Chain A
């Protein structure tokens, strides 16, 4: 009886708790995405959670000077629109004033008396009328401080900017250039090695497997200095630049191999023994068995590894900044984003849009191939279970 009653509130609490966790987890990314689509002035002025409400903004405008004055009913008049200025952001004026301390002194549409019998009217649409009993004498008009409320504005301008003038577009191509070969090359090499370690008779098999398991956790940092020296020496020896795409492809291949071999070996070793033995009895040699039987059956594991390696290489910063140059033709997305963080630290419209461009590819891969990804994760880490 008691259980039945307490069930409902606890179910509710469960859903609620999960909901809260999810909101916490997705909020940072949501903020990034929303911000990257906002108008850059609005982005700098208000938080992204206010993106759907119109924002109040204190602005300042300068009225026209004596050259534009006219005469009307015996008075000198200057008319114009505050939103026509060079850096004014259009919107709706809600209040205005002539002192910087108090831009909200008068509601829009009202008329205020200024010194020397002058009057000023500012309307909601930004038009103003300044009248004076005597002729205006200043070349430049006076300043008006006003509060304008701006409707929310969403745009892809930020993306256009980062793709075409901040170098993100170019880096995108560079990242693809690094990632695709660095994902494909290790697969075949690892698959052959994994088969040999799983099903072929060879001396030192246990030792080789132990070394590969050991190499799984070797910090990349251990490899950087010797490889940098090696690359420099090889570059000088052959008279080619030491920072090349070929260099980074091979580096990523080398670094990815221990995991690839480990993952594929445990998968291939789990294939039924009869399958391989009956093929052997039929007279097929190991090369044939590998090609005809193992390779097609291993497809899910190959896909898992490919996704891992793709994400790893695409998201890598360390290997890229050590083994590739920082020129336009070699800087990858992560490196570019890191450089932008230094040079455009406060320009959130550039940073948010750039960051979203860099994460959109891995997110797409992740969502479309999540099943393989999870399977690889489980095979790779749930060991000893």
Chain B
């Protein structure tokens, strides 16, 4: 263990030192090879021009290299693999996709993912908005927001343990130590095994993600709400609009852009949801989702990379519209610069 700490420590120094070394070294080299204070003016000007051309790529180099190896190349490779067999050698055409859409588990995952997509972003945005509006009006609002925000720092696995404890089930007649069943039995109901309850168990898993992400929505939307000009709200009040009318007619339309950003951010997160399902049910009791199914196929029976890749592509296709929208949005901003 001490060896490991030492190893980690040395790597930090080597890694960070390496980074510094690269940037210092490459820039020094550039200044050396193409000196800006060259003997005659013509070559000095030329050198400066060349420097200005090369230097950005020195700055960008490591980032572009890492992005290519860890994201761009894998995306292309995954597309290629999805048309190939188990080990990625023989070309099988569309048969991985044909398999997927005839596979009961895959269809179950698609159905579940759609439910997650409908419920979680909507619930997070809705609760986030309400919490943002309410906490904005009280003196201890900051504290309240921090507490609701807090689950965002907790890992999905940790959150799963927390909620598994909430959903804990003991046989009838025994004392329930899970708070949900304790409340149910207190009011005379029968305890339930929540995480294997057909259909509804999906919602009990969604609650975990909603619990985690609502704070995110509340903080972002809260900041947007504070950006609404005071005059607008005052004018509406003078015109006799009630609090609900102000909320729906003025606040919500004013921050629509931010609501969309929050909604899409959580949508992307939902498509990738994996840890919660893995730790709570591992896809049993009809709770499978695409990300967990994909992980399953990566390793199940030695792994089937073709099918795993095909499932990954399906997730990617679902993200694609959001990606395109983001890029257009970013380009529009660029144009405005």
Contact = CB atoms under 8 A, between A and B. Distances in A.
A208 B177 CA distance: 54
Contact of B11 (A28, A181, A228, A382): A181
Interface residues of A, number: 114
Interface residues of B, dominant DSSP: helix
Contacts of A253: 66, 70
B285 interface: no
A363 B150 contact: yes
A121 B331 CA distance: 87
Given A225-B305, A365-B153, A218 B330 contact: no
Given A223-B71, A341-B164, A382-B223, A245 B7 contact: yes
B92 interface: no
Interface in A20-79: 21-22, 25-29, 31-32, 35, 43-49
B275 A210 contact: no
Contact of A31 (B134, B162, B326): B162
Interface stretch (B38-46, B94-102, B118-126, B258-266): B258-266
A344 to B, nearest CB: 11
A338 B154 contact: no
Interface in A235-291: 245-246, 249-251, 253-255, 257-258, 261, 269, 285-287, 290
A228 B78 CA distance: 11
Interface in B152-187: 152-158, 160-166, 168, 175-179, 182
A9 interface: no
A220 interface: yes
A209 B330 contact: yes
Contact of B329 (A180, A197, A208, A383): A383
Contacts of B223: 378, 382
Given A15-B138, A188-B16, A358 B157 contact: yes
B144 interface: yes
B56 interface: yes
A317 B275 contact: yes
B265 A181 contact: no
A193 interface: yes
Nearest to B306: A225
Contact of B67 (A15, A32, A215, A220): A215
**Count class of interface residues, chain B:** 35 or more
A348 interface: yes
Interface string A324-336: 0000010000100
Interface stretch (A111-119, A155-163, A198-206): A198-206
Contact of B305 (A32, A185, A197, A229): A229
Contacts of B191: none
B153 A28 contact: no
Nearest to A321: B295
B298 A352 contact: no
A348 B239 CA distance: 58
Contacts of B152: 366
B155 to A, nearest CB: 3
A315 interface: yes
A38 B252 CA distance: 46
Contacts of B323: 214, 216-218
A14 interface: yes
B175 A47 contact: yes
Nearest to A177: B8
Contacts of A181: 8, 11-12, 15
A202 B54 CA distance: 9
Contacts of A381: 220, 261-262, 265
Contacts of A214: 323, 326-327
Contact of A28 (B166, B291, B331): B166
A245 to B, nearest CB: 7
25 contacts: A25-B211, A29-B151, A29-B154, A35-B165, A45-B175, A47-B179, A173-B4, A208-B64, A216-B323, A218-B323, A221-B291, A222-B313, A251-B70, A254-B67, A255-B71, A315-B158, A334-B157, A341-B164, A362-B155, A363-B153, A363-B154, A365-B153, A370-B146, A374-B219, A381-B262
Given A221-B295, A315-B155, A352-B165, 13 more contacts: A173-B1, A173-B5, A177-B7, A189-B62, A193-B60, A193-B62, A258-B71, A285-B36, A334-B158, A337-B161, A341-B279, A377-B216, A378-B223
